[in-house]
Amino acid sequence: MPNLSDLLGSYFPQYVAGVTSARKLRGGGHGPGIVQDSGLVVHSGGHMGAFSGQAYLPQALPAGVSGTDIQ
């Protein structure tokens, strides 16, 4: 699994807070890391050897590009 702290840089604390909040709502446990707010969108999941995910800043997308275009 990649080092998300390195990949997300200054956005990593926002990611951790979002994942922690989502897990509390789900009642704990493991599962995909999903953060979706106005300043950061991250979808990550999988297991060792089969990790996948997307991360983007909605405000930084070029005009005419939406989050559904991110693969």
What's the pLDDT at 63? Answer: 94
Q: Classify 40 as helix, strand or coil.
A: coil
Instruction: Summarize pLDDT for 40-50 with one digit per residue, the tens.
Output: 999 888 887 88
Instruction: Summarize pLDDT for 18-30 with one digit per residue, the tens.
Output: 888 877 776 666 6
Query: Hey, how many other C-beta atoms are within 10 angstroms of the C-beta on 7?
Result: 14
What's the pLDDT at 31? Answer: 64
Our count of domains for the chain comes to 1
What is the chain's percent helix, strand, coil content, to nearest 5? 40, 20, 40
Give this prediction's pTM. 0.76
- Domain range for 51 is 4-69
Strands across the sheet with 33-36, in order?
A: 33-36, 41-45, 52-56
Instruction: Summarize pLDDT for 56-66 with one digit per residue, the tens.
Output: 999 999 999 98
